[in-house]
Amino acid sequence: MHGTYNFWLVAASLVVATLASYTALDISGRIASLSRSRMRHIWLAGGAASMGIGIWSMHFIGVLAFELPIRLGYDFKITAGSLGIAVLVSFFALRVITSKRLTARRLVASSVLMGAGIAAMHYTGDAAMRMQPAIVYDPRLFAASIAIAVIASGAALWIAYTLSDANQTNVLVKRMGSALVMGIAITGMHYTGNAAAEFLPGSICGAANDVDAHWLATTIVLFTLAILIITLVLSRFDARTALLAGSVSRLNGQIVRMATFDTLTDLPNRRTMNERFDRAMRNAKHSGGRFAILFMDLDGFKTINDSLGHTVGDEVLKAFARRLQECVRGGDTVARLGGDEFVVMLENLHAPTDAEKMAERILDEMKKGLLVGNHPLQVMPSIGIALFPQDGDTVESMLKHADLAMYEAKRGGRSTYRFFEASMNEAAVRTLQIQQALHEALNGGHFYLLFQPKFRGKSGELAGAEALIRLDHPEIGTLTPLEFIPIAERSGQIVEIGYWVVHETCRQLARWRDEGCPPVKVAINLSPRQLHEADLVENIMMIVRAEGVQSEQIMFEITETVAMQDAPRTIEMIRAFQENGFEIAIDDFGTGYSSLAYLQRFRAKQLKIDRFFTNGLDENGQEGRAIVSAIIALAHSLDMDVVAEGVETGSQLDRLQDMMCDEMQGFLLAMPLSADAFGVMLEQGEVSA
Ligand code: C2E
Ligand code: CA
Ligand code: CA
């Protein structure tokens, strides 16, 4: 018994198979891009259902396309069973193609399983006709149909697997092409299977009265198409919203990251740090706990940047950031505030020593050095520590205080750490004010000199004066050199100020001379930084000559400590001064550790005993007197005059006179005087130069 094929239904079966394949491919791509497992399951189940219905109905349409000259019908239960098989096979196929990795072995095994599944569905579908006598199958065609099913499944699985990769281009065209291939393969399997079926003459269909075939064909085609199209539309729609939601959240993530993290080191930035501080502070206030802020920057980072370039500088910052992260505990925060400024916040602090230990650990780690590119670098931080609650109750004050402590660490020799102390606050404010005042002082004419008279020990005659600088600032008032000289020394401004002092002294000397006063000797103090100026003596000579003053009228005071720091250089310097007619005094004697050998080679004119020893004449009894008299004897043996500084009491004066001290200076005898007042004293007193 031979059947014929209804062309339209055959075409419809191919369309349905292709559409089902396309749907499967689309959904597999969909599933592969889903990260949420719930959504994956939903799409897997829905996809399997619609793909299964697609394949099954293709098969069913194919069966209906085949017209036998007898009345045909289908057993409902068996038909439903074949649909079940189709859905199961589809589910399995979707699982395989959306898996992370598809190995060759898995592909072969899956193809065999899926091919067998499709074949099972096909032949179960045939069985639904309950033909009597049963259909006889041509063994070769039967085997061929199964082989086609397996090979087609393999190809389909492979194509679908590669297409589910999110990085594909031209996905639409590729998918349509492969869907067509898959569709042809599935229909091919079906019609080979049909060809294998031999309906024996006189067969009758046992299910002929169950479901009417023609009615079924139309319903199924329409129904299947509807399901496939709806599935596709849903998949597309979901993909678009997911894509949109995905890119929005990605973008959002990027923006949030940029706003909260430092792009160079990937550490939290200042803003994030502030937020975490705030939280830590609230927690600590609530629980009565404490935390510490370690504020640090890299010593000499600017030099690295300038000499090795910004790329190396950036690498140093990154390497330092990594080191810091290695040092801290899990709950601690490391942040970069900008530039080479970093902050570590230690929460749940048990004792201040915890912060100390962390600072030491960071310093130890950094001592090991960094390897940046090919440069082995030793970069050390200075660390300032502020503790909550004692060192501040706002984020700003904590940071500011930790910063001040870091500044102190730098002053204390760098590569070290300091805890914040209240005194640093006032000191820092004052330092800033003075720095500002110094900037304006020279041009603003805020400096002036006082002259403290020096007297002869024996006769009490005026022997000369020491020029002492003052800064009178319109806003902060009068400053003593003890306050601003160290600051000017650090900033280097002292050099210019020093020349001003020489200039001003010469000007006054010339003025007193022009007013008819007897010539007088004035001592000028020199700072360490000035002594490092290569052409100091020449420059001073130029000033002195320009003012028409004799260099013999000027003496320079160098403190003992500074003189001894680089004694050979000091000797050279002193020679240069002496060759130009200037005299030299060693100031503040007794505060440093003099080598007598050098003291002799300095060949200074005067030795000025520090005020401390003068004071000791009264305070330290016999011992104090013994020291001063030893110093005087020493100086005399080295052919130097002795000047006692800070004479404040009559008993000091008496004792010094007894000890044959050559000159005296102090509040008892005369306060530092203005140039005018000193001029008056000059006129009246008998001066012996
Ligand atoms: P110094 O060279 O030891 O100057 C003597 C200091 O002792 C002066 O303080 C003076 O006012 C003070 N003094 C004088 N007699 C007595 C006394 O009887 N009792 C007490 N308690 N103090 C007395 P001043 O003017 O504040 O100067 C302090 C330091 O500043 C000076 O110490 C000197 O090292 C430095 N200095 C002052 N003027 C200059 C300057 O023009 N250039 C440089 N580089 N340093 C200067
Ligand atoms: Ca002095
Ligand atoms: Ca002195």
Q: Is the pTM of this model over 0.75?
A: no
State in Å: Cα 609 to ligand 1 middle.
13
Tell me, using a 6 A CB cutoff, whether residue 12 lines ligand 1.
no
Question: Which 3 state secondary structure label does DSSP give 345?
Answer: strand
Residue 215's nearest CA partner among 100, 114, 74 is 74
Tell me, using a 6 A CB cutoff, whether residue 501 lines ligand 1.
yes
Contacts of 488 by beta carbon, 8 Å cutoff, 6+ apart? 438, 494, 497, 527
Mutate to test the pocket of ligand 1, among 478, 490, 525 (most ligand atoms within 8 A of CB): 525
Return phi, psi of residue 589, to 5°: -65, 140
User: What's the one-letter identity of residue 175?
Assistant: R
Highest mean pLDDT among 97-101, 242-246, 272-276, 499-503: 499-503
463 contacts 688 by C-beta, under 8 angstroms: yes
pLDDT at site 661? 97
State which ligand 1 atom lies nearest to the alpha carbon of 668. 18
Tell me, using a 6 A CB cutoff, whether residue 468 lines ligand 1.
yes
Q: Which residue has the higher pLDDT, 672 or 299?
A: 672
What's the rounded Cα separation, in Å, for the pair 391 and 683?
Answer: 58
Full set of structural domains in the chain with CATH = 4-245 (no CATH), 270-420 (3.30.70.270), 430-681 (3.20.20.450)
Tell me, using a 6 A CB cutoff, whether residue 228 lines ligand 1.
no
State in Å: Cα 480 to ligand 1 middle.
9
State in Å: Cα 645 to ligand 1 middle.
9
Tell me, using a 6 A CB cutoff, whether residue 8 lines ligand 1.
no
Q: Taking residues 474-480, what's their average pLDDT? A: 90
Tell me, using a 6 A CB cutoff, whether residue 483 lines ligand 1.
no
43 contacts 34 by C-beta, under 8 angstroms: yes
**Residue 549 DSSP symbol:** -
Tell me, using a 6 A CB cutoff, whether residue 340 lines ligand 1.
no
Tell me how crowded residue 470 is: count the other CB atoms within 10 A of its CB: 16
463 contacts 518 by C-beta, under 8 angstroms: no
What's the rounded Cα separation, in Å, for the pair 681 and 552?
Answer: 21
User: What's the one-letter identity of residue 550?
Assistant: Q
Tell me, using a 6 A CB cutoff, whether residue 480 lines ligand 1.
yes
Tell me, using a 6 A CB cutoff, whether residue 527 lines ligand 1.
yes
The protein residue with its alpha carbon nearest to ligand 1, atom 21, reads 646
Tell me, using a 6 A CB cutoff, whether residue 614 lines ligand 1.
no
pLDDT digit string, tens, across residues 368-399:
988 887 778 888 999 999 999 999 988 899 99
How many angstroms separate the Cα of 72 from the Cα of each of 67, 97, 130, 207, 519? 9, 38, 10, 7, 144
State in Å: Cα 415 to ligand 3 middle.
33
Name 524's bridge partners: 467, 556
The protein residue with its alpha carbon nearest to ligand 1, atom 7, reads 646
Q: How far apart are the first and last CA of the chain?
A: 150
pLDDT at site 251? 67
Tell me, using a 6 A CB cutoff, whether residue 541 lines ligand 1.
no
Residue 299's nearest CA partner among 429, 404, 406 is 406
pLDDT at site 167? 61
State which ligand 1 atom lies nearest to the alpha carbon of 450. 25
Q: Give the percent of the chain with pLDDT over 90.
A: 42
pLDDT at site 688? 46
Contacts of 47 by beta carbon, 8 Å cutoff, 6+ apart? 23, 24, 27, 28, 30, 31, 90, 94, 231, 235
State in Å: Cα 672 to ligand 1 middle.
9
The protein residue with its alpha carbon nearest to ligand 1, atom 34, reads 525
Residue 278 scores a pLDDT above 80 = yes
What's the rounded Cα separation, in Å, for the pair 539 and 534?
Answer: 10
88 contacts 52 by C-beta, under 8 angstroms: yes
Q: Tell me the chain's radius of gyration from C-alpha atoms.
A: 50
pLDDT digit string, tens, across residues 1-40:
567 778 888 888 888 888 888 887 777 777 777 766 777 7
What's the rounded Cα separation, in Å, for the pair 686 and 378?
Answer: 63
Q: How confident is the model at residue 249 (pLDDT cuts 50, 70, 90)?
A: low
Tell me, using a 6 A CB cutoff, whether residue 104 lines ligand 1.
no
Category of 477 on φ-ψ map: left (φ > 0), alpha (ψ -120 to 50) or beta: left
Mutate to test the pocket of ligand 1, among 448, 455, 468, 503 (most ligand atoms within 8 A of CB): 468
State in Å: Cα 465 to ligand 1 middle.
12
User: Of the bound ligands, which one is closest to the alpha carbon of residue 588?
Assistant: 3
The protein residue with its alpha carbon nearest to ligand 1, atom 38, reads 468
Q: Taking residues 615-632, what's their average pLDDT? A: 89
Question: Mean pLDDT in the chain?
Answer: 87
30 contacts 94 by C-beta, under 8 angstroms: no
How many angstroms separate the Cα of 655 from the Cα of each of 31, 122, 412, 463? 104, 130, 40, 19
State which ligand 1 atom lies nearest to the alpha carbon of 608. 3
Tell me, using a 6 A CB cutoff, whether residue 525 lines ligand 1.
yes
pLDDT digit string, tens, across residues 85-140:
888 888 888 787 777 777 888 888 888 888 888 888 888 888 887 888 888 888 89
pLDDT digit string, tens, across residues 48-69:
888 888 888 887 787 777 777 7
Tell me, using a 6 A CB cutoff, whether residue 588 lines ligand 1.
yes
Q: Taking residues 426-431, what's their average pLDDT? A: 82
Ion ligand 3, residue ranges at CB < 5 A: 587-588, 645
What's the rounded Cα separation, in Å, for the pair 281 and 275?
Answer: 10
- Exposed, middle or buried by CB within 10 Å (0-12, 13-18, 19+), for 46? middle
Residue 308 scores a pLDDT above 90 = no
Crossing angle, helix 7-33 and helix 139-163, to 10 degrees? 40
User: Of the bound ligands, which one is closest to the alpha carbon of residue 669?
Assistant: 1
451 contacts 678 by C-beta, under 8 angstroms: yes
Question: Which 3 state secondary structure label does DSSP give 336?
Answer: strand
Tell me, using a 6 A CB cutoff, whether residue 610 lines ligand 1.
no
440 contacts 433 by C-beta, under 8 angstroms: no
Contacts of 642 by beta carbon, 8 Å cutoff, 6+ apart? 606, 607, 608, 609, 631, 632, 635, 636, 661, 662, 663
553 contacts 560 by C-beta, under 8 angstroms: no
Tell me, using a 6 A CB cutoff, whether residue 485 lines ligand 1.
yes
Tell me, using a 6 A CB cutoff, whether residue 672 lines ligand 1.
yes
Tell me, using a 6 A CB cutoff, whether residue 453 lines ligand 1.
no
Ion ligand 2, residue ranges at CB < 5 A: 525, 557, 587
Tell me, using a 6 A CB cutoff, whether residue 26 lines ligand 1.
no
pLDDT at site 2? 66
pLDDT at site 211? 65
The protein residue with its alpha carbon nearest to ligand 1, atom 37, reads 468
What's the rounded Cα separation, in Å, for the pair 7 and 10?
Answer: 5
Tell me, using a 6 A CB cutoff, whether residue 486 lines ligand 1.
no
The protein residue with its alpha carbon nearest to ligand 1, atom 35, reads 481
293 contacts 385 by C-beta, under 8 angstroms: yes
pLDDT digit string, tens, across residues 325-372:
999 988 899 999 989 999 999 988 888 899 999 999 999 999 998 888
509 contacts 547 by C-beta, under 8 angstroms: yes
For 288-381, where are the alpha helices, taking DSSP H only? 301-308, 310-327, 352-367
The protein residue with its alpha carbon nearest to ligand 1, atom 11, reads 672
Mutate to test the pocket of ligand 1, among 645, 649, 664, 671 (most ligand atoms within 8 A of CB): 645
Q: Range with the lowest mean pLDDT among 238-247, 331-340, 643-652?
A: 238-247
State which ligand 1 atom lies nearest to the alpha carbon of 480. 26
pLDDT digit string, tens, across residues 143-178:
988 888 888 888 877 877 777 665 666 777 877 887
Tell me, using a 6 A CB cutoff, whether residue 587 lines ligand 1.
yes
State in Å: Cα 547 to ligand 2 middle.
23
Q: How confident is the model at residue 689 (pLDDT cuts 50, 70, 90)?
A: very low
